[in-house]
Amino acid sequence: MTGRIAASLALLALGAGSGVPVRAQAADAYKSLLTIHQEFVMLREPKVVAGMADYTPAAMTEQRRGLDALRTRLGAITSSSWPVSQQVDYHLVRAELNGLDFDHRVVRPWQRDPGLYVDAVRRAPYTDVPAKAEELVRLRTELQAVPKLLDQARANLTTPSGELAGMAIRQLEMSDGVNQGEPRRPTPPAGVIGWYRDLLERLPKHHPELVTDARTALAAAEDFRDWLKQNQAAMKEPAFVGLDHYNWYLRNVRLMPYDADTVRLLGRREEDRARTFLSIETHRNRALPPIDPVKTAEEHERRVLESERLIREFVQKQHRRSSRPMPSGSCVRAESVISGRSPRTAIRSTTIFTPRFPGTSSTATFSARTRTRSAQGTATAHAGRDGPSTSRKCFCRPASSTAGRALASCSTSRS
């Protein structure tokens, strides 16, 4: 009893100095945490002026000062008396601030990695033409920004890595075959430079007024590639960050209880597991002919539908899911609301069960992070930066049985 009374008196004393109840103080502190997180979301992205991201030393110094101020404010918050869910929020915000701190102290991509600037200019030529008025303005702005941004890159890359420069050269000259958002082509253009040439072939018919800007952007990309090749041998900065830095990153940014050696061990175990199952399946199906790579979009579509038919037959045979068909033209939506108002939603894993096609079902697991998109199975999630967001995935049965597509995806929207 004495202990309980003492604890009660201590709690009263915490709020006595200000005359504010303890719960009210905690609520105000949590609001301060959310404010810090919202300011951080605005701070972490480089400022964009006339379509060009600003990675100059002055801009990065300003970002560093803003980060230090936010970390000071966060350090003044005591979260030990908060509910566990809010303490989780606190540590997630701390991890995000640590991540930007790691970028400034260790990674410094604006100084070390030419690929940062290649990534910044690679998407403009993906634009479909003829373009609508709004898209046309964006394309013109982005094309005109390319020479300025690549000039900025030469000045900013004061300690570039030769290995990272080699990767940037490859990205400029070669297709990686992954198709990261590029439009479909029977033969993918040769890297970012190839895509600017592709755009130049399409513009004269629909938007001849942009040909000069596109030609100038292409020349800037080629000049940047040549500059990298000429100076790569003198770029002595290593690409790696070192074990000590990596271990700090795992603990303080990823919030993982592992060090580099454990992560390596886990990775090897998963690789061994994958190779083992691949060997088992290869042996089990050794009498079947090999599967040839898909060569056309039509063949890809046919294989998708055929695979779904096989899955549907398997599910029905095993009696693992209901085989009740969806009505023609209907759509079932799996939805996960991710509120940007609470940093706790920056990392959340959810398993959802969704009807996918008449007579079939699928289970999808997704993870959402504030800065990244993760897709596993059939669900996609994106945590909002400016406020609450909703991740949606729609699985539809076409109204016409002759429709070419069996699935339809809802894009991520914000509420």
Say yes or no: 125 and 100 in one domain. Answer: no
User: For the chain, what is the domain count?
Assistant: 3
Residue 158 belongs to a domain:
yes
Say yes or no: 313 and 330 in one domain. Answer: yes
Residue 259 belongs to a domain:
no
Higher pLDDT, 134 or 276: 276
> With 70 as the cut, is the pLDDT of residue 362 above it?
no
| Residue 21 confidence class, pLDDT cut points 50, 70, 90 | low
To the nearest whole percent, how much of the chain has pLDDT over 70? Answer: 70
**What pLDDT, on the 0 to 100 scale, is given for residue 269?**
97
- Measured CA distances, 35 to 92, 332, 410 (Å): 14, 36, 31
**What pLDDT, on the 0 to 100 scale, is given for residue 292?**
85
Q: pLDDT tens for residues 254-306?
A: 999 999 999 999 999 999 999 999 999 999 999 998 888 888 878 888 998 99
The sign of the torsion formed by the CA atoms of 9, 11, 16, 21 equals: negative
Say yes or no: 346 and 378 in one domain. Answer: yes
Segment 88-95 mean pLDDT: 96
| Residue 20 confidence class, pLDDT cut points 50, 70, 90 | low
Q: What mean pLDDT value characterizes the chain?
A: 77
Q: In this structure, how many other beta carbons lie within 10 angstroms of the beta carbon of residue 329? A: 11
Say yes or no: 136 and 204 in one domain. Answer: yes
Say yes or no: 229 and 303 in one domain. Answer: no
Q: How many CA atoms lie within 13 A of 243 on its CB side?
A: 7
To the nearest whole percent, how much of the chain has pLDDT over 90? Answer: 55
> With 60 as the cut, is the pLDDT of residue 338 above it?
no
Backbone angles phi, psi at 379, to 5 degrees: -120, 145
Say yes or no: 80 and 124 in one domain. Answer: no
pTM of the entire predicted model: 0.66
**What pLDDT, on the 0 to 100 scale, is given for residue 138?**
92
**What pLDDT, on the 0 to 100 scale, is given for residue 188?**
85
* Domain end call among 107, 125, 150: 107
Domain that holds residue 179: 115-234
Say yes or no: 390 and 310 in one domain. Answer: yes
| Residue 378 confidence class, pLDDT cut points 50, 70, 90 | very low
Say yes or no: 401 and 351 in one domain. Answer: yes
Q: How many CA atoms lie within 13 A of 387 on its CB side?
A: 3
Residue 173 belongs to a domain:
yes
End-to-end, the C-alpha distance of the chain in Å comes to: 50
